[in-house]
Copies of this chain bind each other. A is one copy, B any other.
């Protein structure tokens, strides 16, 4: 098929292999190669590092814009600060670009402004600049938000790195990059999977899976800095959004050139989310999250990191879910019934427009 006959589809924005191919074959092809970036575009990590500054931009097109557990404003702040936190930096200033649809009620805009401000307070970050555009009423559901932000290196990150170096001879980046994982490292997940995706699906389709399923959307940057400061030994962080745990772990695996073994019985999932996924034929490993992080930790510090996480509200359901290994490539899961199942990179998130 000639490229002239190809068109953008929803899958191009759904995490997974189709989106990654678009980014690698088009975006990186045209924009890659910046000589001034320590962590450039082609690293395809959670954010870029240029000089002392971590830079991140995320557009949020979630539909509907209000959902159980949050809204597009809270999502936009959390998404961007969590990406900055995932490379190990502390976010300190945000730029907020609104694209509003004609006909959006000012009262709804004000609800979004208010929840955006609340999320900023939780993240201890300020919005210092922005931009407002209006487009004709269409299919956006009221508005989209771009949230960009800058972060900086902290003494807590330096302290974390001192601990990493104590247990690891081979050179590792100071930033907690996807490519830092080594065989033997422990994989920790900060809480239950699938909550955000199911909350959005339920709002999109008017489904009800019981009253309990709410989005987990929240800023996690302060939690990350606490882990660095109070324990240390964290080598890699990722927030498993579009494409879920399956996509994020595959990124860890191919960027770090290491296998990852998961234990099915240790993956935290709410019973109602598990049942809803089963009913709908969704793999919860591929459903997006917005208030969770996956950590690669030197094994000597795994218990201490887990203990710290479990003592917090954001991390009370944290578990050690697996380990990095040199025994195979890619991601595999030790299943409850016995044997191993390959966890492939998903084609895309099964639920459209979750963020």
Contacts of A148 in B (CB 8 A): 55, 57, 95, 97, 146, 148
Q: Smallest distance from the beta carbon of A190 to chain B beta carbons, Å?
A: 22
Question: Is B128 a contact partner of A7 (Cβ separation < 8 A)?
Answer: no
Q: Please pick, from B4, B98, B107, the residue contacting A3 in the complex, using a CB distance under 8 A.
A: B107
Interface segment among A108-116, A251-259, A304-312: the answer is A108-116
Can you list, as one digit per residue, whether each of A67-102 has a CB less than 8 Å from chain B (1) or not (0)?
000000000000000000000000011011111111
Q: Smallest distance from the beta carbon of A100 to chain B beta carbons, Å?
A: 5
Residue of B with least CB distance to A106: B6
Contacts A57-B95, A128-B34 given; indicate if A8 touches B109 (C-beta within 8 A): yes
Q: Please pick, from B33, B129, B130, B134, the residue contacting A13 in the complex, using a CB distance under 8 A.
A: B134
A135 sits at the interface (CB 8 A)? yes
Contacts A30-B113, A131-B59 given; indicate if A4 touches B96 (C-beta within 8 A): no
Contacts of A173 in B (CB 8 A): none
Residue of A27, A61, A135 with highest tally of chain B CB at under 10 A: A135
Residue count of chain A within 8 Å CB distance of chain B: 81
The interface of chain A, by Cβ under 8 A from chain B, is 3-4, 6-14, 19, 22-23, 26-27, 29-31, 33-37, 40-41, 47-48, 50, 53, 55-61, 63, 92-93, 95-107, 109-110, 113-114, 116-117, 120, 126-140, 144, 146, 148, 150, 353, 355
Contacts of A31 in B (CB 8 A): 96, 113, 116-117, 120, 126-127, 130
Contacts of A99 in B (CB 8 A): 59, 61, 144
Question: Is B117 a contact partner of A30 (Cβ separation < 8 A)?
Answer: yes
How distant is the Cα of A230 from the Cα of B133 in the complex, in angstroms?
37
Contacts of A4 in B (CB 8 A): 105-107
Question: Is B61 a contact partner of A132 (Cβ separation < 8 A)?
Answer: no
How distant is the Cα of A55 from the Cα of B55 in the complex, in angstroms?
10
Contacts A50-B150, A134-B12 given; indicate if A7 touches B93 (C-beta within 8 A): no
